[in-house]
Amino acid sequence: MSVILHDPFVILLASLLVVVGSIVFLRIGAFLSLLAGSLTVSFWTSLVSDDSFDLVHNVTRVCEAMGTTIGKIGVLILLGTIVGKFMTDSGAADRIVLSCRQLLGAQRVPAALAGSAFILSIPVFYDATFYLLLPLAKSVYRAYRKNYVLYLLAVGLGATISHTTIPPTPGPIAVAEAFHIPLATSLKIGLTVGFCLLPVVLFLAWLLNKTLPNPKVDSNVLREMGIDSENEKSLTEASSDIDNSLVEKSLPSLWLSFAPILLPVVLIAVASIVEARLGKTLSGEATPAWRSVVALLGSANVALGIAALFAVFPLIWSKKLRTTRSQLEEKLNVALMSAGMIVMITGIGGSYGEMLRATGIGERIKELFATNGGLSGVMVLTLAFFSTALLKSAQGSSTTAMITSAGVFSAMGLNSETLGFNIGYLASAIGVGSCVASWMNDSGFCVFARSSGVSEIDSLKVWTVGTGLLGVFGFVITLVMSQVYPMV
């Protein structure tokens, strides 16, 4: 058999063509496309190896690798989905939005919208966050009759940051697992990059609003907003309507609303700090009871489980929202069903990465870089960013692009020592790379264009350009941080 067919790069390229082609042309979805890519790598590797060709083994190892990945992060994704569902249904998400708007004031609505979207998109998926905050953006636009793009982008881009960089969103969790990055480290880097990007969101929203001050909006959406009515409202009146409509829902208290978001972060951070100060406990070593408790509460699965319990409390305690056992079970089933496909896609993405590692591509890439003067961490970051951006452009899904790219780069066997900085920055580069080129094949683009009423042409001008620039700024921030604070 030709030597070129043995090259891991050829196997990688062929599998990527299978994955992207299946999504774009066959339209069989991310799961089946990644499954086809994993099987392609498994069978090809077996054919060119010296071992005997075994059909059953080639299929079985793909399934086993998928099961291993799901076993590691499946519960995290399920719990994160439950937290988001319960926060939305209980009004906790509305309370956070209202508090952010009241804190910043009516005249700083874009900042309030961006901040709310950033916070909510951590436990709540991007689509749900956008739908949740869209009525607020429309209400303020109805009052001003201008700056619609400003409010829409503040919500959309603010939610995009968390969706692509901060666990427990499925993409960032899958990337962190692929590179064996502790969740505390992934949270620290993701939150830092995210906070740095928030002013960028407001700048891009303001800039793109200037370039398109009067977008073409669907007439049905305008009628829904009451724009064609003669009843004019001031900004203060519109803001008051927002406050009244939210308060009427008997929203939970602010501390209870924030608890599902802050608790897991605090618990994981405390466990990480204790371990960093006192060192890891070895297996079989006598451990103080308090350290065992801290480690248990700070483990990702337990921390998110506690967050899920706090997320359900408002549904049980609220007199207006008093939820029966059957209603609670129904809400739980809805959350689990929506998370099921994400878990499956994440699992098969991990399997795809494992199959690529079996090709020996890590050693092949090391040889290539050694021939050209060594492995440059900056070069790896750049390659990761652009490869993820290309994958996102080709097939549309940020999560699929992140999982696929993480599978490719985790197969290189990289670590913090070889890169010269914390490998968490590589995960960040992949995350911000998945922001780039959101257009018609991306559900995020469709949600933005259809629910807002902005035409597809205008959405390309503001949303596609905005997400692209957001990704570029995110990469620059990641690159600078990797050099200034390499071992964060």
pLDDT tens-digit profile of 314-365? 888 766 667 788 888 888 888 888 778 778 887 888 888 888 878 877 667 6
Range of weakest confidence among 217-221, 369-373, 461-465: 369-373
- Higher pLDDT among residues 1 and 198, named by residue: 198
Per-residue pLDDT for 431 more than 80?
yes
DSSP letter, residue 226: T
Q: How far apart are CA 441 and CA 397, in angstroms?
A: 8
Q: How far apart are CA 457 and CA 113, in angstroms?
A: 24
Q: How far apart are CA 464 and CA 457, in angstroms?
A: 10
Which of these, 382, 484, 405, 395, lies nearest to 443 by C-alpha position? 395
Per-residue pLDDT for 229 more than 50?
no
User: Residue 2: which pLDDT band, with cuts at 50, 70 and 90?
Assistant: low
Token pair, residue 76, equals 């995290």
Q: How far apart are CA 77 and CA 74, in angstroms?
A: 5
Which of these, 239, 214, 198, lies nearest to 109 by C-alpha position? 239
Q: How far apart are CA 266 and CA 455, in angstroms?
A: 42
Q: How far apart are CA 396 and CA 221, in angstroms?
A: 26
Per-residue pLDDT for 128 more than 60?
yes
Count of CA atoms in the C-beta half-sphere (13 A) of 119: 25
Burial of 83 from C-beta contacts in 10 A (0-12 / 13-18 / 19+)? buried
- pLDDT of 348: 85
Which of these, 424, 442, 435, 445, lies nearest to 472 by C-alpha position? 435
Q: What proportion of the chain, given as a percentage, has pLDDT over 70?
A: 86
Distances (CA, A) of 60 to 55, 56, 65, 178, 461: 9, 6, 9, 20, 46
Q: How far apart are CA 227 and CA 138, in angstroms?
A: 10
Per-residue pLDDT for 371 more than 60?
no
User: Residue 232: which pLDDT band, with cuts at 50, 70 and 90?
Assistant: very low
- pLDDT of 285: 67
Q: How far apart are CA 390 and CA 378, in angstroms?
A: 18
